[in-house]
């Protein structure tokens, strides 16, 4: 896993997360997290999955992340507007993914409530008759 620590750092920075925030969510010290980004400690698959969950991306997205697509380089300084638009697009994609995840979570909650209410109606159908409006 070449340069995975750098990729994690770049994704963290795109999210505007601090190392302290990441460490807290991973239940490790900030020093231990820093060693992951510096590739001074061995990164396990399970830890990669935990990091991807905090960053709200798939593990494969971390491994295949190419910062050149999002970060302006010296050689591309002639087109800074394009890079800014690309960075905005990345943020919008991350935000849309987060909204989609929230929506899916809410839908599952509502489906669970509907299932429970149907069970109540089946178990005692005469008990829950709505009052008629006069």
For 38-58, the pLDDT digits (tens) are 999 988 899 999 999 999 998
Question: CA 101 from chain center: how many Å?
Answer: 9
Looking at per-residue confidence, does 80 or 52 come out higher? 52
Pick from 50, 38, 86: which is nearest to 66 by CA? 86
Delimit the domains of the chain by residue range.
1-65, 73-124
- What does the pLDDT read at residue 47? 93
State what percent of residues in the chain have pLDDT above 70.
72
Strands, E, within the chain: which ranges? none
Does the pLDDT value for residue 82 go beyond 60? no
What pTM, to 2 d.p., does this model score?
A: 0.51
Place of tokens 């050689």: 75
Provide the 10 A C-beta neighbour count for residue 55: 20
| Average pLDDT score over the chain | 79
Name, of 39-53, 58-72, 99-113, the range with top average pLDDT. Answer: 39-53
Looking at per-residue confidence, does 126 or 55 come out higher? 55
Q: Say if residues 70 and 86 touch (Cβ distance below 8 Å).
A: yes
C-alpha 90/C-alpha 70 separation (Å) is: 8
Q: Which CATH superfamily is domain 1-65 in?
A: lambda repressor-like DNA-binding domains (1.10.260.40)
């Amino acid at each position: 896993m070449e340069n995975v620590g750098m990729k994690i750092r770049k994704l963290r920075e795109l999210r505007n997360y601090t190392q302290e925030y990441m460490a807290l969510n991973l239940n490790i010290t900030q020093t231990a997290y820093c060693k992951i980004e510096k590739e001074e400690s061995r990164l396990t698959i399970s830890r990669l999955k935990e990091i991807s969950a905090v960053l709200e991306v798939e593990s494969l997205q971390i491994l295949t992340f190419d910062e050149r697509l999002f970060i302006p380089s010296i050689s591309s300084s002639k087109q800074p507007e394009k890079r800014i638009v690309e960075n905005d697009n990345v943020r919008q994609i991350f935000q849309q993914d987060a909204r989609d995840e929230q929506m899916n979570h809410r839908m599952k909650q509502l489906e669970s409530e509907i299932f429970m209410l149907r069970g109540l109606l089946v178990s005692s159908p005469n008990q829950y008759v709505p009052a008629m409006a006069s």
